[in-house]
Each structure stands twice: as structure tokens, then as C-alpha cells.
Amino acid sequence: MPALVLLGAQWGDEGKGKATDLLGGSVDYVVRYQGGNNAGHTVVVGDQKYALHLLPSGILSPGCTPVIGNGVVVDPSVLLSELSGLNERGVDTSKLLISGNAHIITPYNVTVDKVTERFLGKRKIGTTGRGIGPTYADKINRVGIRVQDLYDESILMQKVEAALDAKNQLLTKLYNRRAIAVDQVVEELLGYAEKLAPYVTDTVLVLNQALENDKVVLFEGGQGTLLDIDHGTYPFVTSSNPTAGGACTGSGVGPTKISRVIGILKAYTTRVGAGPFPTELLDEDGEALRRIGGERGVTTGRDRRCGWFDAVIARYATRVNGLTDFFLTKLDVLTGWEQIPVCVAYEIDGKRVEELPYSQSDFHHAKPIYENLPGWSEDITSAKSFSDLPKNAQAYVKALEEMSGAPISAIGVGPGRDETIEINSFL
Ligand code: GDP
Ligand code: IMO
Ligand code: MG
């Protein structure tokens, strides 16, 4: 049976949590493969709203096994409080599996994230301050702490020492901060060991055996294509690979096992944090999208920057992820505009450009070229099939599909599980 990837096609917050939850009832495993608690995935089930940061959204579907893959960075204190928060609300979290190879976000990684951002001043990235970049940097520098290290005290001590050696020099001499004591960090980390032990396992083996046994595995991306460290708007990106290839490296499942890659695509565009955003609106339309769409960060509470749909970005997402489908979300938010501009290409130095430029300076100078599509005023939140949508909403979806290069197989018309129009089945 197939493995499916579900990922963000823009700058994150496209509605991945809702889409994952929708499929959660029909899949056996939901796997996070990158990122950490920088993510904020909202799931609305009936009158209950959940904000998930580190846990895969499949945790809310009783038949589904949630997995934190080797590519994720795990803050143990956040994980434990997320688990207890869900337990208090009656959610069974006992099936969770965590890769022993996942890296741990240590307290000093969080400190380094915050001080480096402060040091960058106006050049800052606007990170979530959760220690994501410094933890991945330690991983690549081969001084990271892995979940399995919690179960060997002497190795843990040596590794924390190695990691803190250079960092303490930086913290005290460059950033004017106090040195961090190795013993204290080790003691804190050891305190998590027993609590996490029931979940820790060889997730690579579990997932591959599951696929051999015809189980369905869904990979849930965090962040989005344009925040990818390789394919995003570097340096204004996150420090992992949300794009489809990341699902393989971040889980140990080979690319031949993946049969479908679904891009979650908002019917307009949002971005949190710094960096270029060609269709950003700094006028009342941007304000209206923010208000109607409830565009406020789930993790940091920051207002999201808002703009019109950008087809150049959608085409790029189709290409770098090999998308087979789109799930278009938040179409309902666009109800009420007489005309809806859609960016079909960019103007860069007086020339029309159809594809995302690889050059950072070109992208910074890209001006959107808009086509105006006619809007609709009818409420669409109770639409159950494509034909229930007003003609202009149908035409908007069809135009986006044509420009974006992959079929739109589902449409979100509200935050709830059932506020979805399913066009082609994902399974
Ligand atoms: P994620 O990070 O990709 O999971 O997305 P977020 O949860 O950060 O942000 C998406 C927001 O849009 C959440 O508040 C969702 O409940 C909401 N949402 C998702 N799909 C729809 C939709 O089709 N219509 C509306 N109105 N809201 C949606
Ligand atoms: P979900 O999974 C939107 C952004 C931050 C910042 C940049 C780097 O909910 O879509 P980081 O803390 O990752 O080093 O910050 O990436 N960012 C997100 N933006 N949605 C997210 O996650 C994000 N996770 C990180 O705002 O610009
Ligand atoms: Mg989010």
C-alpha cells in the first residue's frame, strides 16, 4: 500500500493540520519528518479546537499511530506538555512512536536561537525562537544530542560537553551571556528519559515493515516549500527540508514507496517572519484577509503577512515536490470580493518572468503581474460538492488549477473536518 506525503506549498500555515486530520481516519500511520515545535497545526473537530506543535495531527484519530521521525528536532519539555495537554482533554496518546535518532532541542539551542536573532538586529530572520536552527546546526556539525543519548549517561555527558565547549565561548565572549553548566543540562535531559522511554523506538524499521504489510503511511510536513533550507527563499527559511524529499531522509522510507504528494495550498498567500513576499498587501485588502482568515500565528501569536494568490509559487511547488495533487484551503475567506487578483507572473527589471527566479536579488525585485478574476458573494461554507460552488468560485478554482500544474483534489470551505469538498479521493 502507498505512502503519501502532505506538505505546505507556500510559506507554511496552509492548513496542513486540517488536511492531515481529514485523512487520519483512513491511514494507519501519520509521520512528522522534519521541523519541530516551530510548527503550529490547527485541527478543528466538532466544537473542539486543537493546536499541535510537535505531535503529528494523526494523534487525534484513534486508529492511527503517530510517529515522530528521525528528521524531526524534539524539545522534550514541549513534547511532554503537549502530551499531557491532550491527555487532559481525553485524547489517547499511548500509540506515539519517537525515533531514537531524532535530535533533541536542548535548552542551550533555544538560548542560541534567541541571542543570534537579537544579534542580527534588523537583519533577523524572525524565527519562532524555539531553537530549531541551532539544533539542526549541531546535527550537521556532529555535536547534536539524539533521543537515544538520554539512555546512556556517560555518552550524554561527553556529548553535552562537546556541544557546549564552543558555545560557551560564544555566549560569554561574543554575546555577553553567562556560560551554561554541563551538569545542569545533563540533569535536565536525564529527567525526561524515563517519561519518553515508552515511545522511543526504531521508527525506520516500524514504518518499512508497516508498508510491507500493506499499511497506509501519511507523511505530514511542517512549514512549507518556500521555507525549505534548499528550495525556499534562503536565508529567510527554516533549517530543514519540508519539501517532498525530506519525507524520505526524515523517516528512512525510500522514494519508491511514495505514490502521492499532496501540496496544501491556501487560496491566497500568507507568511510569518521576515523575507520577500511579492504579492504582500499592505492595504485594507491585506487587513481584510488577515481578519476574515484569522491569520495569526498558532505558535508565536504574530500577525501573518497576507497577500493574493501567487501562481508562480504554486508552479514552483509542483515542480520541486513532484506534486500529484493540491488541496486548496480557505476558499471561503475570499467570499465577498468583487474581483480577486491572482499573480500569474512577475515583472523583474522590466521583463515578464513566468517561473520563480533562482536569484535572490531577482526575487526581491519581483513585481507581481495580476489577472483579475470575478468574485462571488454567496456563502460557500456548506458546499459539499464542486457543483454547489457559485460559478465564479468554480472558475477561480479551475483557473488556479490550470496555472499551478497539478489537479486540485480537495477544497476547504471552512476550518472543520467536514467543511471540505472532496473531488478526487486521496486513497
Ligand atoms: P498549518 O500550519 O498548515 O496546519 O495551518 P495553521 O493551523 O497554522 O493555519 C491554518 C488555519 O486555517 C487554522 O486556523 C485552520 O483551522 C484554518 N483552516 C484550515 N482550512 C480552512 C478552510 O478551508 N477554511 C477556513 N476558513 N479556515 C481553514
Ligand atoms: P507550520 O508547520 C509559518 C518561519 C518563521 C521564520 C522562519 C524560521 O505551522 O506551517 P524557525 O523558527 O523555523 O527557525 O523560523 O520560518 N516558520 C513558519 N512560518 N508556519 C510554520 O510552521 C513555520 N515554522 C517556521 O516564522 O520566518
Ligand atoms: Mg501553522
Is there a domain that residue 193 lies in?
A: yes
User: Which residues have a Cβ under 8 Å from the Cβ of 298 and sit 6 or more positions away?
Assistant: 13, 40, 41, 42, 51, 53
Query: Strands of 3-8's sheet, edge to edge?
Result: 200-201, 97-99, 65-68, 29-32, 217-220, 3-8, 258-266, 325-329, 408-412, 420-422
Read off the CATH number of the domain in which 273 is found: 3.90.170.10
Both 50 and 28 in a single domain? yes
Both 215 and 250 in a single domain? yes
**pLDDT tens by residue, the chain, 427 residues:** 589 999 999 999 999 999 999 999 999 999 999 999 999 999 999 999 999 999 999 999 999 999 999 999 999 999 999 999 999 999 999 999 999 999 999 999 999 999 999 999 999 999 999 999 999 999 999 999 999 999 999 999 999 999 999 999 999 999 999 999 999 999 999 999 999 999 999 999 999 999 999 999 999 999 999 999 999 999 999 999 999 999 999 999 999 999 999 999 999 999 999 999 999 999 999 999 999 999 999 888 999 999 999 999 999 999 999 999 999 999 999 999 999 999 999 999 999 999 999 999 999 999 999 999 999 999 999 999 999 999 999 999 999 999 999 999 999 999 999 999 999 999 8
Angle at 294 between CA 273 and CA 12, to 5 degrees: 40
**Residue pointed to by grid coordinates 526524515:** 250
Cβ burial, residue 354 (10 Å; 0-12/13-18/19+) = exposed
Both 307 and 158 in a single domain? no
Is there a domain that residue 98 lies in?
A: no
Instruction: Take atom 15 of ligand 2 and give the residue whose Cα is closest.
Output: 127
Does ligand 2 have an atom closer than 6 angstroms to the CB of 271? Answer: no
Both 25 and 79 in a single domain? yes
270 annotated to bind ligand: no
378 annotated to bind ligand: no
For the four alpha carbons of 36, 25, 15 and 40, in that order, the dihedral sign comes to negative
The domain total for the chain is 2
Q: What is the structure's pLDDT at 211? A: 98
List strand residue ranges (DSSP E) for 148-307, in order. 200-201, 217-220, 258-266, 269-271, 305-307
Both 135 and 209 in a single domain? no
Provide the angle, in degrees to the nearest 10, between the axes of the packed helices 107-120 and 132-140: 110
- By the 8 A CB rule, do 56 and 86 touch? no
Q: What is the structure's pLDDT at 299? A: 87
Residue type, 144: G
Shortest-distance ligand to the CA of residue 296 = 1
C-alpha cell at 427: 486513497
Shortest-distance ligand to the CA of residue 43 = 1
- By the 8 A CB rule, do 367 and 408 touch? no
Q: What is the structure's pLDDT at 1? A: 58
Both 34 and 125 in a single domain? no
Q: Give the pLDDT confidence of 355-370 residue by residue, as tens digits.
A: 999 999 999 999 999 9
Residue type, 158: Q
- 3 state SS of 282: coil
Bridge partner list, 368: 346
Does ligand 2 have an atom closer than 6 angstroms to the CB of 223? Answer: yes
Distance 129 CA to ligand 2 centre (A): 10
C-alpha cell at 384: 459539499
- By the 8 A CB rule, do 307 and 370 touch? no
C-alpha cell at 418: 467536514
Distance 26 CA to ligand 1 centre (A): 20
Domain boundary among 183, 198, 213: 198
Both 361 and 235 in a single domain? yes
Q: What is the rounded CA–CA span in Å between residue 415 and residue 417?
A: 7
Is there a domain that residue 87 lies in?
A: yes
Both 350 and 237 in a single domain? yes
- 3 state SS of 410: strand
Both 194 and 209 in a single domain? no
User: Which residues have a Cβ under 8 Å from the Cβ of 403 and sit 6 or more positions away?
Assistant: 311, 314, 315, 342, 344
Q: Give the nearest ligand 1 atom to 224 CA.
A: 3
Sort strands 65-68 and 48-52 into parallel, antiparallel or unpaired. unpaired
Distance 233 CA to ligand 2 centre (A): 12
Domain boundary among 157, 176, 198: 198
Count of C-beta atoms within a 10 Å radius of residue 297:
16
35 annotated to bind ligand: no
Q: What is the rounded CA–CA span in Å between residue 29 and residue 47?
A: 25
Distance 342 CA to ligand 1 centre (A): 20
Domain span at residue 216?
3-91+203-422
Both 255 and 382 in a single domain? yes
Both 265 and 355 in a single domain? yes
Does ligand 2 have an atom closer than 6 angstroms to the CB of 266? Answer: no
172 annotated to bind ligand: no
Q: Is the pTM value of this prediction over 0.85?
A: yes
User: Which residues have a Cβ under 8 Å from the Cβ of 405 and sit 6 or more positions away?
Assistant: 314, 315, 318, 319, 323
For the four alpha carbons of 152, 154, 156 and 158, in that order, the dihedral sign comes to negative
Does ligand 2 have an atom closer than 6 angstroms to the CB of 132? Answer: yes
Catalogue the active-site residues: 13, 41, 139
Out of 43, 128, 130, mutate this one to test ligand 2's pocket (max ligand atoms within 8 Å of CB): namely 128
Neighbours of ion ligand 3 (CB under 5 A): 13, 40, 298
- By the 8 A CB rule, do 138 and 109 touch? yes
Both 278 and 387 in a single domain? yes
Provide the angle, in degrees to the nearest 10, between the axes of the packed helices 182-196 and 76-88: 40
Is there a domain that residue 256 lies in?
A: yes
